[in-house]
Amino acid sequence: MIAAVELPAAAAVTVRDARPDDRAAISEILLTSGIFGQTDADCVDEMFCEAPRADGYHWLAAEAATGAGKGGVAGFACYGREWGTHGTWDLFWICVRPGARGSGTGRALIDTVIDRVRAEGGRMVVIYTSSTEPYAAARRLYKAAGCTPAATIPDYYADGDSLLIFTRALRAET
């Protein structure tokens, strides 16, 4: 089910596998996001530098296909299998450059993640996120991409900052 959220068409965005030379852009996108900080960027960088493995982290980069940002990395996503599950995958990270927000970049990334997971035979995508205001746009994006808030752990991240777990079941659609 797609929620009734108006989003621009994503035709001007291309999503591809990330390459080693995207490393600096990914860190910069996080550090200029206004949401994530150095600790997050360090964690993502460590994950990015892990050797590729089938059961490891998968990385996507989005590029603006036209306009001023053409050819630059406008956003990225990192996803992978959830250890110990049969067919559950996790969208670990997704972030879009502030200047590229509202351009359909986040939606193009999440749609590509869902397509890739489905192609791998995945049953479910889970997303762990925060209940706080800076994550409101992310929560709208997850809902627009057909993900449903399935569970809440109050005060998980900090007092007043709860964990929301979004899920999207895939197998029933195939």
**Tokens at residue 76, please?**
């990225």
In the set 47, 65, 135, 157, which binds a copy of itself (CB under 8 A)? 157
Q: Closest CB to a copy of itself among 72 and 149?
A: 149
Q: Closest CB to a copy of itself among 17 and 155?
A: 155
Q: Which amino acid is at 2?
A: I
Q: Closest CB to a copy of itself among 101 and 123?
A: 123
Q: Contact between 150 and a copy of itself (CB under 8 A)?
A: yes
Determine the size of the site formed for a copy of itself (CB under 8 A): 27
Contact criterion met (CB below 8 Å) for 74 and 96: yes
The secondary structure element, H or E, covering residue 165 is strand 161-169
In the set 47, 65, 126, 137, which binds a copy of itself (CB under 8 A)? 126
Pairing of strands 148-158, 124-130: unpaired
Q: Closest CB to a copy of itself among 20 and 34?
A: 34
Q: Contact between 123 and a copy of itself (CB under 8 A)?
A: yes
In the set 7, 35, 43, 65, which binds a copy of itself (CB under 8 A)? 43
| Site of tokens 């197998």 | 171
Distance (Å) of CA 61 to CA 17, 25, 48, 66, 156: 6, 10, 12, 15, 30
Q: Contact between 158 and a copy of itself (CB under 8 A)?
A: yes
| DSSP letter (8 states) at residue 83 | T
Q: Is 62 left (phi over 0), alpha (psi -120 to 50) or beta?
A: beta
- Which parts of this chain interact with a copy of itself (CB under 8 A)? 39-40, 43, 82-88, 123-124, 126, 150-159, 161, 165, 167, 169
